[in-house]
Amino acid sequence: MTLPPIYVLRHGETIWNVERRLQGRRDSALTERGHAQAEAQGRLLQALLKDIPTPDVYCSPLGRTRQTAQIALQGIDLEVKYDARLQEVSAGEWEGRTRPDLFEELGMEDGPSTEFTLFTNAPGGESVAELQARCTSFLNYLTGPTVVITHGVTGLMLRALALCLDDSDMRQLERGQGCIYRLQDGSEICLKENEVRI
């Protein structure tokens, strides 16, 4: 897959992130720290736009990504296009439940690499194949430098596809907030400020 440069932003921290609840397609508001993270992404974008003045900007239609986009793009004159292919993976019946409770109930170890399994195996949720198909469709749609504002699990899949990673390597990727993942020529660099202040 030959792709243009892509700049992936995960939404800022939300109340449910702090509570360790599965959000999926449901929403909770950004925390004060989440606002600060989106502001940091905005400053990083301002610097990037000196080299890429007119990228396409695509955003998940969910509330937390819209809120992040509004903050991060303040003062930046770019049209935001909302694309359902960027929304978070559906966690079906488990949305709103806490990760520790689910891990205990399922007898799974609590950790970043097992969270992907949790999200993609939820009753009534979205499968790995479905997530991969819509992320592939989105990436194939891109024609030039693109800013993408999305979510933790969907962002993992987009980045893994762009980097040609297998499932195991994908699960090891960071899912940072307040930073920007620059994907270019098959490699990734995480752009971030030294510290996000609240």
What are the catalytic residues?
11, 88
Residue found under tokens 């891990």: 103
Could you count the other beta carbons within 10 Å of the beta carbon of residue 75?
Answer: 7
Tokens linked to 83: 């694309």
- Whole-angstrom distance, CA of residue 115 vs CA of residue 148: 22
Q: How far is CA 9 from the centre of its chain?
A: 6
- Whole-angstrom distance, CA of residue 194 vs CA of residue 187: 22
Could you count the other beta carbons within 10 Å of the beta carbon of residue 23?
Answer: 25
Starting at the edge strand found earlier in the chain, the sheet holding 180-184 runs 80-82, 56-59, 146-150, 6-10, 180-184, 187-191
Which residue type is seen at 135? C
Closest to 180 measured CA to CA, from 50, 14, 60, 7:
7
